[in-house]
Structure 1
Amino acid sequence: MKITSICCIGAGYVGGPTMAIIAQKCPHIKVTVVDLNEERIAAWNDPDVNNIPIFEPGLSDMVGEARGRNLFFTTEVEKGIDEAQMIFISVNTPTKTYGLGKGMAADLKYIELCARQIASVAKDNKIVVEKSTLPVRTAEAVKNILDNTGNGVQFQILSNPEFLAEGTAVEDLLNPDRVLIGGNDAQAIESLVEIYANWVSRDKILTTNLWSSELSKLTANAFLAQRVSSINALSEVCEKTGADVNEVARAIGMDSRIGSKFLKASVGFGGSCFQKDILNLVYIAKSYGLDEVADYWEQVVIMNDHQKRRFAHKIVQTLYNTVSGKKIAFLGWAFKKDTNDTRESAAIDVADYLLLEQAKVAVFDPKVGEKQVRYDLAYSATNELSNIDKNVTVYQDPYEACKGSHAIAVLTEWDEFKNYDWKRIFDSMHKPAFVFDGRNILDAKKMKEIGFVFSSVGSAY
């Protein structure tokens, strides 16, 4: 099947950027992104392309070039499904918060709803592509739903997991390490291969069976998160022994068998993938009775939670064992730089802990607004809403956020933080003025020369 029309269900962090790149690189293909969230679709269609709902370096330019030509955003889900030859499912698959598998298993209700809607609307043969991160053998359930519609339509299911790092998603899409396509039908696989081959070398397009493709996504994120938790575990050892975790990471990172990526010690990893995918892997292992395997991978998440608690506790301990009534400025709320995504951000957990200690939390992030900060705390935190409303202030200016504070916590590695007038900030703070660098991005020597009581992750000094 020569593909000329694509529909993507889901206009989020995966669907939006992926479809923008496909549309930009394949002007002969009509790409329609559908979503029931009217506010999100309106933002994607904003005349000022800089106001699209997802911030990724370079994404607004891609959307601006293709939107209205062959890239369209709409809430008309059924029309998009009906007109497409190939349908990407790119909806959220959060960790279940109820029932069997609560806290570990992926919640597939949105995937099932998509499958049932496709089945009810489709009048001709379709290729359905799993883009969301899914447990192994989800494709089997999707195909069972699609094949039992009774309307004679034939469906082919492919798995095409994303390997995007937020903050570099456009570059990851333009120059991927690999594109993974899993399926059982050679013609359907080739249809998707031909789309990517418009800009990706065929030797980087890897084809597998469905189950290998689904499991590879979970495994990749688990391995990366494991490295982060491993270096964070050692950061605590470094602080006790006088070693410097950055020097340790540099030394072992030069070993070609290990490599330097994901060896940056920090307050902990966040984002929509790592924790969710590891817990999903843990649940799968437990469901097969592989308890030792489950325990091994679960420890990665346990270590990450420990690192966030340890960072928050260090702030309280250093500030004379009380932060009650003290203003603590948070620089950064997004889970990493160059994105406005806050899902599972370490800042949320650190703020939650400090709010329980009655701290006054002042937040500044260059891409995250007050509405999102308050939503994150209300949804994820253990504090009463009244405590959040009373003790959290979100600022539009970093210097105002830091003014009158007792301490500053760097929670996101935004590059601009390195270039602030730190002498001006020091002069505006209560003394002694504390800085807790949770991302190890500031120059410790310079900060101490200014007069700060400075603390970073993985260093005793």
Structure 2
Amino acid sequence: MAMIAYKCPDIVVVVLDINEGRIAAWNSDKLPIYEPGLDEVVKACRGRNLFFSTDVKKHVAEADIVFVSVNTPTKTRGVGAGKAADLTYWEGAARMIASVSTSSKIIVEKSTVPVKTAEAIEKVLRRNCADPGVDFQILSNPEFLAEGTAIADLTNPDRVLIGGKDNPAGHAAIEQLAAVYAHWVPQERILRTNLWSAELSKLTANAMLAQRISSMNSISALCEATGADVQEVGRSIGTDSRIGSKFLNASVGFGGSCFQKDILNLVYICETVGLKEVAEYWHSVITMNDYQKHRFVERVISSMFNTISKKRIAIYGFAFKKDTGDTRETPAIDVCRGLMADGAHCVIYDPQVGADQVHQDLATPKFEWDHPARAGSAVIGRDEISIVSDPYEAAHGAHGICLLTEWDMFATLDYQKIFENMVKPAFIFDGRNTLNHAALREIGFIVYALGKPLDPFLQCAYN
């Protein structure tokens, strides 16, 4: 929404949230989320045509277009638990919008939702609005941006997708929203489609991207077993114009707020319409992601003489990827839990993730990470982990380092200094393949890199 305010100075944008602390942060010098370039965009138009408020009912009542970006987490209980999307927050938003609306509005789905959500939301809106003269047009306008590059993705998007009803009123609503994006997006990149295609396109895009990651992660295991190099394999197949080079990097696993949630949602949709084999196919992408994290933990344990009990392990990075403080579904959660379960003491450093966030993430049950109510979760793990504000402190006295987030800074650290202050043999487990492994071995490190030929020391350990 900040980008609309930035690119459209004639349009007033009000960002609403019932969380007073979050709105206060949006109105402060330190925004509640970290995203490169976001500060500049917000500060350029905040107070001009961009406002942040908790007065939800007032501003929704006054709005012509309402973008709904509430959470749609995976259900944790009841029918579809562990797969289906929980639309509680969407339904609540729809009921509130209907209750305060005295003029017709365009309601825009920005959250990732199951196919046919718009149909259900329209029923809620119409049945809860007291004024029969109020018309609601529902549009699906999913985001195709990535955290860490969101501002660039919004400034120069591959496409903007708008789905609406295939009737005159639906077409008019689509064009009204398209006119907003046309302030900076070329018309040929603004795609119009029906509601159901737009809703399914977002789920499918995330599923396809996650599938590529899981496919390469499966190949990384084969590379280690055969002596091949997963980065060379990825580089080779990435030159095939039918495949392309993106999302072909092996890693400790994918994370973030979308991939797992959306694939599970897709699996559930397939199951509900009787497509068992299709559901199983897409669920295997999640299975491979879990396997990769488990395999990484097992490599750490087996490399360090089959025990990490009471050993200090430095964790470099907790966010699910660089240039964001987002920790939802981050592989670091499962890796740290796996290491802690074997008795390790994890010392965690991440430049954008605070101690409270780490403790809360490690204490929160699976699928609860994206539920707003989880803020009250118990905080555990303070005896098993430490959070530090310096990467050198994290590695001081450590037996090994696990690099779990590809922050640029980790490639430029003084590893000679780090090596000198570690217990020997000193291990580095590169879960992102971002370090100079040859240089690290020259220093004296025992290096494990995903999908790379095994260090001679490790070959002996595995035999």
> What interval of TM-score do these two structures reach, taking the shorter chain for normalisation?
over 0.9
> What residue in structure 2 maps to residue 45 of structure 1?
27
Maintained 8 Å contact 1:352/1:381:
no
Q: Deviations over 1:168-206 (max 9, x none)?
A: 000000000000000011111111000000000010000
Count of residue pairs the alignment pairs up: 439
CA distance in 2 between counterparts of 1:156 and 1:87 reads 10
1:187 paired to 2:180: no
Give the CA deviation at 1:460. 2.1
Moved over 3 A (4+): 384-387
1:22 paired to 2:15: no
Maintained 8 Å contact 1:330/1:364:
yes
Q: Secondary structure at the match of 2:428?
A: strand
CA distance in 2 between counterparts of 1:65 and 1:450 reads 47
The equivalent position to 1:440 in structure 2, one of 423, 433, 437, is: 433
> What residue in structure 2 maps to residue 3 of structure 1?
none
- How do 1:72-111 residues align onto structure 2 when only pairs under 5 Å count? 72-111=51-90
CA distance in 2 between counterparts of 1:43 and 1:358 reads 38
Maintained 8 Å contact 2:363/2:379:
no
> What residue in structure 2 maps to residue 418 of structure 1?
411
Give the CA deviation at 1:38. 1.1
1:248 paired to 2:233: yes
Maintained 8 Å contact 2:360/2:378:
no
Change (3 A) 1:381 1:183: closer
CA distance in 2 between counterparts of 1:96 and 1:296 reads 21
CA distance in 1 between counterparts of 2:10 and 2:101 reads 23
Maintained 8 Å contact 2:363/2:380:
no
1:32 paired to 2:17: no
- Aligned-partner residue type, residue 178 of structure 1: R
> What residue in structure 2 maps to residue 307 of structure 1?
292
Q: CA RMSD in A?
A: 1.2
Maintained 8 Å contact 2:74/2:86:
yes
CA distance in 2 between counterparts of 1:451 and 1:287 reads 55
- Aligned-partner residue type, residue 419 of structure 2: F
Q: Deviations over 1:118-170 (max 9, x none)?
A: 00011111110000000000000110011123412111100000011000000
Q: Secondary structure at the match of 2:382?
A: helix
- Aligned-partner residue type, residue 199 of structure 1: W
Maintained 8 Å contact 2:234/2:245:
yes
> What residue in structure 1 maps to residue 245 of structure 2?
260
> What residue in structure 2 maps to residue 400 of structure 1?
393
Give the CA deviation at 1:358. 1.3
- Aligned-partner residue type, residue 6 of structure 2: Q
- Aligned-partner residue type, residue 168 of structure 1: T
Q: Secondary structure at the match of 1:388?
A: coil
CA distance in 2 between counterparts of 1:208 and 1:387 reads 47
1:158 paired to 2:139: yes
1:118 paired to 2:100: no
Give the CA deviation at 1:297. 0.3
- Aligned-partner residue type, residue 139 of structure 1: A
Maintained 8 Å contact 1:253/1:259:
yes
Change (3 A) 1:30 1:253: same
Give the CA deviation at 1:80. 1.4
- Aligned-partner residue type, residue 119 of structure 1: A
Give the CA deviation at 1:298. 0.3
- Aligned-partner residue type, residue 455 of structure 1: Y
1:389 paired to 2:386: no
> What residue in structure 1 maps to residue 374 of structure 2?
none
> What residue in structure 1 maps to residue 452 of structure 2?
459
Q: Deviations over 1:289-343 (max 9, x none)?
A: 1000000000000000000000011111111111111010000000000000000
- Aligned-partner residue type, residue 43 of structure 1: A
> What residue in structure 1 maps to residue 328 of structure 2?
343
Maintained 8 Å contact 1:355/1:387:
no
- Aligned-partner residue type, residue 403 of structure 2: V
Change (3 A) 1:272 1:105: same
> What residue in structure 2 maps to residue 13 of structure 1?
none
Maintained 8 Å contact 2:360/2:380:
no
The two structures have a TM-score, normalised by structure 1, of: 0.94
Maintained 8 Å contact 1:349/1:381:
no
CA distance in 1 between counterparts of 2:229 and 2:328 reads 30
CA distance in 2 between counterparts of 1:129 and 1:387 reads 39
> What residue in structure 2 maps to residue 134 of structure 1?
113
> What residue in structure 1 maps to residue 340 of structure 2?
355
Q: Secondary structure at the match of 2:381?
A: helix
Q: Deviations over 1:7-28 (max 9, x none)?
A: xxxxxxxxxxxx1100000110
Q: Secondary structure at the match of 1:156?
A: strand
Can you give the 5+ residue segments of structure 1 that lack an aligned partner in the other structure? 1-18
Maintained 8 Å contact 1:52/1:60:
yes
- Aligned-partner residue type, residue 219 of structure 2: L
Q: Secondary structure at the match of 1:82?
A: helix
CA distance in 2 between counterparts of 1:132 and 1:426 reads 46
Maintained 8 Å contact 2:110/2:143:
yes
The equivalent position to 2:194 in structure 1, one of 192, 202, 209, is: 209
Give the CA deviation at 1:255. 0.7
The two structures have a TM-score, normalised by structure 2, of: 0.94
Give the CA deviation at 1:387. 6.5
Q: Secondary structure at the match of 1:389?
A: coil
Change (3 A) 1:404 1:385: farther
- Aligned-partner residue type, residue 172 of structure 1: D
> What residue in structure 2 maps to residue 61 of structure 1?
40
Change (3 A) 1:417 1:161: same
Q: Secondary structure at the match of 2:143?
A: coil
> What residue in structure 1 maps to residue 275 of structure 2?
290
- Aligned-partner residue type, residue 143 of structure 1: E
